[in-house]
Amino acid sequence: MPSDRSPQDKKRQREEEFGHLLRQEHSLNAGFLHGLKGQIVEIQARAVEVLPTPRSWPNAVVITGMERGDAQQALLRINAALTKYGMSKSPVIIQVHCTPAMMSKYGSWLDLPLAIILLQCAGYLPDLPPTVEGDYVLVGELGLHGEVRRVPGILAIAEATRPEQTLIVPTGNERECALIAASPGRQHGRIAAVSMLDEVIEFFQGKRTFDNVLNQLISLEPFGRKPIDFGRIKGQEQAKEAALLCAAGGHNLLFIGPPGEGKSLLANAIAGILPRLTVEEQIELTRIYSAAGQLERDGQIVTQRPFRAVHHTISKQALVGGGTLKLQPGEVTLAHLGILFLDELPEFRRDTLEALRQPLESGQITISRTHAAFTFPCRFTLVAAMNPCPCGYAGTERCTCSPTAVAKYQKRLSGPLLDRIDLVVELQPLTLEERFSETTDGQTELLRQKVEAARARQTARFQGTAIGCNAAIPAGRILDYCRFSPAGLEHYKQRVAQANISTRLTDRLARVARTIADLDNSDSIEPPHVDRAATFVLDQRLNFAPAAETESPA
């Protein structure tokens, strides 16, 4: 039967029924990831117009302060989830603003808080009193069936909350959040985990309470592969010594040798003899790996020094980080506090290698975009490997390369990058006896103890400065920190004069000699320390340099 009420009467009735919604103000705190940092943002919303007929959420909501495409996708997910609970339409037009507007917001972190504040604006949920609105921070992606899904970077978001706030996160993120309890003053925070949207709806209706995850016993799972033991690597004693110096002093290292003689194995093993990560370093790396989406399961914590093996086909963006909107950390940041391994070094694009100059110099990488600039940490030790020629067997009867081909191959190396490599060592083919020698486990632990003792001496030496290890001693402070005995200084001058090397190489020789002295538990650098350092800094570098500097015919 047709209604006898006019459209004006219907409009008046709906305004009487829903007009009070236009007078309400709504605010919620939400968390999202901005680069590698967690950000707490305020979501403001209000109903601005009563609709003559209810509309679906994507057609009734306008969101500002968030990337348009991400906002539309979020509304589609919210619409599907709310339809499940019989709340598929809004009686009012809703304006939502995510502050601050100048900060670009993207991704699915804001799904859950957006859904709750839309329900408040539409009258499905009561509004929180202004005195408690700031007590909660909501984070989570919504699935189409109402499930609250795990998001990356939750540790950084948890660290950004205030201790008195309750952080509501997806189930599957709560164990990672529990790491904030290791921070001073955060032992009494509150973390609540939810699996479905209706749990949060019932909480805001006053029908449910949440347990504090931090009051529970949380088990954490180590993340990261254990490196191969040095005792499993046969022969190559000189290369092993170079690896020890690399770990003890933070010196960048280049392995040169034929294929199949252990270059990659040695590089991987170096990560195992680096000093153990402190709790603060473990949390820092876990924050990075979580933000990059590298953690496979909840509750994983990075306990091993990273080892990132990079293929020569990698793009510059993948190496140093980047992206159009959501900037992702690159391999240099994933190698932070660990080893970045570049195999087949001459095969890398020159512009890709040139991009390593800033990270190697400053220990951080800054990526600028029109909407923001992000600075990511990347204090890594560079280990590279290469064949001496295209076939890999230069200097032996097996080599099939012409001298011109060898020179052209070695000229591919970036000069500025080579200037930042302290140690060069050539690997030789294993002898028959070495190939069939016995292997033993436990060598890595013994070498790590030596490295930690040497690093402890460096920590005491550089106390109160920004210098982290011997490799980072500034050029103008070499003799301040590299103390020679009288005999050691005289011998050092003689080696420099005989080799006729540059000032930069002279400084590098002193830094490596200082590391060798630290491994010998010696306060001063003695002549034998200089000679051992010259083995890796001068001797093999000079043998290698002429081939790299030979001009190839046009």
Q: Residues 443-473: pLDDT tens digits?
A: 999 999 999 999 999 999 999 998 999 999 9
Contact 100, 23 (CB under 8 A): no
Please report which confidence band the pLDDT of residue 3 belongs to, taking 50, 70 and 90 as the band edges: low
524-535: average pLDDT: 95
Please report which confidence band the pLDDT of residue 550 belongs to, taking 50, 70 and 90 as the band edges: very low
- In the chain, which segments carry CATH 3.40.50.300? 230-444
- Which position has the token pair 């209604």? 3
d(CA 209, CA 362): 48
**Helix (H/G/I), strand (E/B), else coil: 37:** strand
pLDDT digits (tens, 9 = 90+) for 221-276: 889 888 999 988 888 889 999 999 999 999 999 999 888 888 999 999 999 999 99
- Distances 19 to 92, 120, 374, 380 between C-alpha atoms, Å: 9, 14, 45, 60
Which ranges of 250-309 does DSSP label H, i.e. alpha helix? 263-273, 279-291
Bridge partners (DSSP) listed for residue 148: 142
Highest mean pLDDT among 180-194, 386-400, 454-468: 454-468
61-68: average pLDDT: 93
Q: Which of 2-6, 56-60, 160-164, 340-344 has the lowest mean pLDDT?
A: 2-6
Fold of 473-545: Helicase, Ruva Protein; domain 3 (1.10.8)
| Amino acid 186: pLDDT | 62
Which ranges of 369-502 does DSSP label H, i.e. alpha helix? 403-410, 415-418, 432-435, 443-461, 478-481, 486-499
488-505: average pLDDT: 91
Q: Helices 111-121 and 68-84 meet at what angle, rounded to 10?
A: 70
166-190: average pLDDT: 82
| Amino acid 11: pLDDT | 73
Q: Helices 263-273 and 237-249 meet at what angle, rounded to 10?
A: 40
- Distances 291 to 10, 152, 532 between C-alpha atoms, Å: 51, 5, 42
- In the chain, which segments carry CATH 1.10.8.60? 473-545
| Amino acid 547: pLDDT | 38
Q: Residue 237: CB partners within 8 Å, gap ≥ 6?
A: none
Closest to 177 in 3D by CA, of 219, 136, 213: 213
Please report which confidence band the pLDDT of residue 325 belongs to, taking 50, 70 and 90 as the band edges: low
- In the chain, which segments carry CATH 3.30.230.10? 7-215
Contact 50, 14 (CB under 8 A): yes
206-214: average pLDDT: 90
| Amino acid 114: pLDDT | 97
| Amino acid 2: pLDDT | 54
| Amino acid 548: pLDDT | 38
> How many CB atoms are located within 10 Å of the residue 50 CB?
17
Structure tokens at 401: 């390369």
d(CA 364, CA 309): 19
Pick the CATH number of 230-444 from 3.40.50.300, 3.30.70.580, 3.40.50.920, 3.40.50.720: 3.40.50.300
| CA gyration radius, the chain | 30
Closest to 191 in 3D by CA, of 166, 172, 209: 166
Chain centroid to CA 514: 31
Closest to 342 in 3D by CA, of 380, 305, 391: 380
pLDDT at residue 531 is higher than 50:
yes
- Distances 251 to 270, 340, 350, 368 between C-alpha atoms, Å: 12, 12, 22, 29
Fold of 7-215: Ribosomal Protein S5; domain 2 (3.30.230)
Please report which confidence band the pLDDT of residue 554 belongs to, taking 50, 70 and 90 as the band edges: very low
Higher pLDDT, 184 or 522: 522
| Amino acid 184: pLDDT | 64
d(CA 338, CA 289): 13
Average pLDDT over the chain, rounded to whole? 89
Q: Which of 227-231, 292-296, 499-503, 544-548 has the lowest mean pLDDT?
A: 544-548
Specify the pairing of strand 26-34 against strand 37-56.
Answer: antiparallel
Please report which confidence band the pLDDT of residue 551 belongs to, taking 50, 70 and 90 as the band edges: very low
| Amino acid 400: pLDDT | 86
**Helix (H/G/I), strand (E/B), else coil: 425:** strand
Contact 361, 380 (CB under 8 A): no
Q: Helices 527-534 and 486-499 meet at what angle, rounded to 10?
A: 30
With a pLDDT cut of 70, the percent of the chain lying above it is: 95
| Amino acid 552: pLDDT | 36
Bridge partners (DSSP) listed for residue 255: 385, 425
368-380: average pLDDT: 84
pLDDT digits (tens, 9 = 90+) for 15-33: 778 888 899 999 999 999 9
Specify the pairing of strand 26-34 against strand 136-138.
Answer: parallel
pLDDT at residue 538 is higher than 90:
no
> How many CB atoms are located within 10 Å of the residue 161 CB?
23
| Amino acid 219: pLDDT | 82
- Which position has the token pair 């829903």? 18
